[in-house]
A and B are shown apart, each in its own frame.
Chain A
Amino acid sequence: MDLLYFQIGGAPYAIPLEAIADVSPAGPVHPVPLSPPAVLGLAERRGRAIAVIDLRSLLDDPETEARGAGNVMRLAGPLEGAALFVPAEVFSGSGTPATSGHVWIDGRLHALLDAEALVKRAATFH
């Protein structure tokens, strides 16, 4: 299966390629008052506003500093109004499923992320 993979706080994570619309360098993000803490704010992509979700908060690693400027992965399909902020470089590759919720990529085990579950958790995260 095709995946995008990256590291947050030293831990390897992967997300299915079909869940992502595109990847772009993180531009300016405008904070939104009273939004959930996992939501960094609003950013502009191709003339549309998207909600940027901070993966560091959701993955219980809020202290990780962004390597370089970081990247924003815009979600595809019904979640296309949301994007995930990754404080690291993003790579593409193919992996083989391992135990539940994990995949093997280049001989290394990565935790497989579910975009829909991430968005829901971001909406209810306090």
Chain B
Amino acid sequence: MSKERTVRPRLLPALPGSIFRRGLTNAKGGGASFPRGRAVQKKLAASFLLVTLLCTAVAMAVPRVQTDPMWSAVLVVCLDLAIGLGGAWLVSWLVVRRIKQLASAASLISSGDLTLAVNVDGTDETADLARSFSAMLVNLLSVLTEVKNGAEQIYSSALTLSRTTEEVNTATAGIAEAAQSIARGADAQAHDVSRTSALTRDLKGSADRVAEAATSVQEAAEEASLRATTGAAAARRAADGIVELKHAVDASADAVEGFQVRADEIGKIVSFIVSLAEQTHLLAINATIEAARAGDEARGFAVVAEEVRRLADHVRGFADQIGSVTDEIRGGSHILARSIRESVTAAGAARELVERAASSFDGVLDATRGTTDRSRAIARSVDEQRLLARQVDEALERIVRIAQENARGTEETSTATIGQTASMNALSASAHELARTSDQMKILIATFRLRD
């Protein structure tokens, strides 16, 4: 006998009553249809009559065979006793045989085997008992089969419910995470928007400062325009002064050139004087030589010649001094002439520069006029910018409010999701419990051997 069959069936704590009731009703209905018999009583009466007849026949027949009365009586008693015992055994065999079969079947059923078939032939009370037993077995089998199917369905449904609640939990966790992410995003959005709002206020402040700067630029441009006008007039006066200066310098250059010509003439004259002095010097030396050759009579001539030589040397010395002074004058006049030429060139360049400065002042004037116009345009743009910044600030405040509402809604969603998750966890636990219970039910039902 297998192990499954030895397991005692336990009472299930919460089996659905509807299955039981239906099964009992069927069993009751099935049992009401069987006929009731009285064959055992008839068999007992017939056996009793037969034993009585046999004992009577033995009591009459034995004294004829056995003459000894004592042996005859002993023989009759023994034969009657045997007949009585045989009849009693026969009757009890006939009654007990089917009850034993039913007890054996009940023993098998108690061990869980519901597949056996009970012999229901006959018409006596034991046959009625066997039929009732068989009907009970059929009903029990039907109930247990339905219970088994129901438990399987419950198990499958509990598993499905458990899986579904897990999926719902997963989805809910995703929703909670998304809600938290949305809440964080809303926080970050509120933070960003408040920062943008601060930046917008800064922008407004800087627009105010730009407006002030534009105003001061305008004032500075007007002052620059005034100064450029004055500067242009001064530059034109300076150009005229430079022209006059150039004319004066040109006149000086002419004078210096004439002076140089005169100095050159002086140099030539000095060279001529030097040449004359040298010739006189040589003439005096030769006169001295001649006087020496003439002897003592020419001594006076020699003295005169010596005086002439000394005079010539003095002339030569003075001429050399004049020449060096003249050279210095010529050198100085050369430097002067060069300086004057450079001054003339510089005066021309200065005049050009001053004229350029005057035209630059005109350009500055135009530019300051442009600057004034542009600074006015800047002031207008800054006013518009201030207006826009205020509008942006208001829009940002609205955005902040919407973001805060979003954050609140997301928090509510998150809270609801947490509650839903708790409910789903409870549902999942119940589903697990149901699956475990139905599984136990299946195990219990598996202890019964049912027909496939």
Contact = CB atoms under 8 A, between A and B. Distances in A.
Given A23-B282, A89-B278, A90-B282, 15 more contacts: A17-B289, A17-B292, A18-B293, A22-B289, A23-B286, A23-B289, A24-B286, A25-B278, A25-B279, A71-B282, A76-B293, A89-B281, A91-B309, A92-B285, A92-B289
B288 interface: yes
Counting chain A CB atoms within 10 Å of each CB, which of B279, B285, B286 scores highest? B285
B187 interface: no
A68 B281 CA distance: 14
Interface string B207-230: 000000000000000000000000
6 contacts: A2-B292, A4-B285, A20-B289, A22-B286, A23-B282, A92-B289
B257 interface: no
Interface in A1-27: 2, 4, 17-18, 20-25
Contacts of A4: 285
A24 B282 CA distance: 7
Contacts of A89: 278, 281
What's the interface size class on A, roughly?
Answer: 10 to 19
The DSSP consensus for interface residues of chain B is helix
Contact of B285 (A18, A23, A76): A23
Interface in B279-303: 279, 281-282, 284-286, 288-289, 292-293
Nearest to B286: A22
Interface residues of B, number: 13
B306 interface: yes
Contacts of B292: 2, 17-18
B287 to A, nearest CB: 9
Nearest to A21: B289
Nearest to B306: A92
A79 B292 CA distance: 18
Contacts of A21: 289
Nearest to B283: A23
Contacts of A18: 292-293
A4 B282 CA distance: 11
B432 to A, nearest CB: 134
B289 A25 contact: no
Task: Identify the 4 closest CB pairs spanning chains A and B, nearest first.
Answer: A92-B288, A92-B285, A22-B286, A17-B292
Contacts of B279: 25
Counting chain A CB atoms within 10 Å of each CB, which of B281, B288, B289, B306 scores highest? B289
A126 to B, nearest CB: 32
Given A92-B306, A92-B309, A17 B282 contact: no
Contact of A17 (B284, B288, B309): B288
A71 B282 CA distance: 9
Contacts of B288: 2, 17, 92
Nearest to B302: A2
A46 to B, nearest CB: 12
Nearest to A24: B282
Contacts of B278: 25, 68, 89
Nearest to A90: B285
A50 to B, nearest CB: 15
A62 to B, nearest CB: 25
A93 to B, nearest CB: 8
Nearest to A93: B306
A89 to B, nearest CB: 7
Contacts of B282: 23-25, 71, 90
